[in-house]
Amino acid sequence: MSGLSKKELEKQVQALEQALAQSRAALLDCKEKENQRKQLHRALAATTLISSISHHFNNILGIILGNTEMALNDLPQWDPARDWLAEIRTASLRAQGIVRQIQALSKTTDSKRPIHLTRMVEEALQQAADQLPAGVEIHHHLDLEPDIVMGNLVPLYSALVQVLTDAGLRIPDFRGNLRVSLEPVVVKADKTEPENAVAPGQYACLKIGSSGHDAAAAVERSSIAPDSETRLLHADKNNLSEDAVREIIRFHGGALTVAGTASEAASGPPDVKILLPTVDVCTAPAELRATEDTRKGTARILFVDDEIALVRLGKQMLSHYGYTVTTFVNPLNAIEAFRRHPDQFDLVITDLIMARMSGRELIDEMTKVRPDIPVIVCSGHSDLIDSEITDQPAVKAFLAKPIRMIELNNKIREVFAEKLL
């Protein structure tokens, strides 16, 4: 070996081993970065797919929901078909909520939006029921008015599902009743508990408990220690931790309390109580006010959407309220008609995402002809409503698809502020 000593050879071997280890580490690091890059691309592709699917599904829901409401308006009260149509409407509204949850999953934001808490609890109960054994029966009484909270949809919904599901799994032998109630409470300054302090005001109180079981056994089964430092949730890497749930509730201005001892749980108080601040219906965003204005309108409306079934439905809905409606499936034809007779229209209602031209481009072209024309933008892509849209003086309102008759008419009246109606 060219006269090298054993010691020198050992040093060279050691150096080669270190170099090989470094090369392996660098290779693993490259592979890890490549995997992260692929995961990022998959996540972006999934987000794009979610957006596309939700757009088409919202259009389908809009056709189902809109035609159902039109049929309900035309049928007499005694017709038995009204009950069936009412069920279709209820199912469509539930599907609408699910689509919005799916859309929210593709976004990361800390912004709070108005939420109907009763509807959210109903959806969370349904998902929890799907995960619970057949021996667990859910009994609920949801009596909350107003039920509007300002919240971040996905984390709040996930936290409620987690708490409800775990409460059901704490029932011994998975046989018993899960009791859930939702009611309004008023928190006064002198009644606030220091350890779970919330600001004075109106709150929704969600109580979750169980009946027909031995409290001590329930505590043991759920790994909740029989002391004041109770643990609410099972430790599971696939679920939210209790700390995460509590932080979500705190983020929404609320508080979560748990029955601390077996004796307290057996004496009747609910196992879990969640407080969330509610918004008075008078101060809630207009789209959440459910009072319908049935007066007939006289405004002349230009309605544009590239889905022909939605165009027909939009014309029927608006005509029902007395408006004069001109519809277009092709936005280019709509612009041409508007250029010829700009003063024949009092309002433009347009979809945001269309094949031949976007709603943003359509608004730009129409405001070049008549800058004062008011516009309502409709879309199933609420995430695409950015400052470029909302900052345009012509854009007076936004409607999320699928569009209900009551929401459409109320929004038009808000835009006009009764001037033309």
Query: In this predicted structure, what is the pLDDT of residue 174?
Result: 77
Query: In this predicted structure, what is the pLDDT of residue 375?
Result: 93
Number of domains forming the structure of the chain: 2
> Between residues 224 and 116, which one has the greater pLDDT?
116
Same-domain pairing of 145 and 210 = yes
Specify whether the CB–CB gap between 211 and 180 falls below 8 A.
no
CA distance 98 to 33: 34
Same-domain pairing of 215 and 299 = no
CA distance 195 to 330: 61
- Closest to 380 in 3D by CA, of 72, 14, 18, 58: 58
Same-domain pairing of 308 and 261 = no
Which domain-ending residue is among 242, 277, 312? 277
Same-domain pairing of 210 and 273 = yes
- Using the CB atoms, write b or e for 336-373: b if 16+ within 10 Å: eebeeeeeebbbbbbbbbbeebbbbebbebbbeeeeeb
Pull the structure tokens for residue 303: 């309605």
Same-domain pairing of 217 and 145 = yes
Element (H, E) at 184: strand 176-187
pTM of the model as a whole: 0.53
Same-domain pairing of 163 and 255 = yes
Same-domain pairing of 164 and 242 = yes
Q: What is the pLDDT of residues 319-365, one digit of tens each?
A: 988 999 999 999 999 999 999 999 999 999 999 888 888 888 999 99
Average pLDDT score over residue span 368-388:
77
Q: What is the pLDDT of residues 146-166, one digit of tens each?
A: 778 888 777 888 889 888 988
Query: In this predicted structure, what is the pLDDT of residue 237?
Result: 47
Specify whether the CB–CB gap between 372 and 395 falls below 8 A.
no
Average pLDDT score over residue span 207-227:
50
Q: What is the pLDDT of residues 241-253, one digit of tens each?
A: 778 888 888 888 8
Confidence of residue 110 (pLDDT cuts 50, 70, 90): low
Position 386 pLDDT exceeds 80? no
**CATH code for the domain of 396:** 3.40.50.2300
Query: In this predicted structure, what is the pLDDT of residue 114?
Result: 76
Same-domain pairing of 198 and 297 = no
| DSSP secondary structure, 271-323, as one string | SEEEEEE-B-TTTS-GGG-----------EEEEE-S-HHHHHHHHHHHHHTT-
| DSSP secondary structure, 231-278, as one string | --S---TTS--HHHHHHHHHHTT-EEEE--SHHHHHTS--SEEEEEE-
Same-domain pairing of 196 and 326 = no
**CATH code for the domain of 193:** 3.30.565.10
In a domain, 104, yes or no: no
CA distance 143 to 167: 21
| Phi, psi (rounded to 5 degrees) for 12 | -65, -40
CA distance 59 to 400: 11
Same-domain pairing of 171 and 212 = yes
- Closest to 152 in 3D by CA, of 242, 276, 281: 276
Query: In this predicted structure, what is the pLDDT of residue 356?
Result: 83
Range of the domain at 257: 109-277
Query: In this predicted structure, what is the pLDDT of residue 177?
Result: 86
* Nearest 10 degrees: Cα torsion 320, 326, 329, 333: -170
Q: Measuring CA to CA, how many Å separate 264 from each of 139, 179, 226, 261, 271?
A: 21, 16, 10, 5, 9
Q: Measuring CA to CA, how many Å separate 310 from each of 142, 303, 400?
A: 34, 10, 14
Same-domain pairing of 262 and 342 = no
Same-domain pairing of 340 and 303 = yes
Pull the structure tokens for residue 379: 């879309």
CA distance 356 to 307: 12
Element (H, E) at 50: helix 6-74
Average pLDDT score over residue span 67-83:
88
Q: What is the pLDDT of residues 280-322, one digit of tens each?
A: 655 445 444 445 555 677 889 999 998 899 999 999 999 988 9
Specify whether the CB–CB gap between 363 and 392 falls below 8 A.
yes
In a domain, 21, yes or no: no
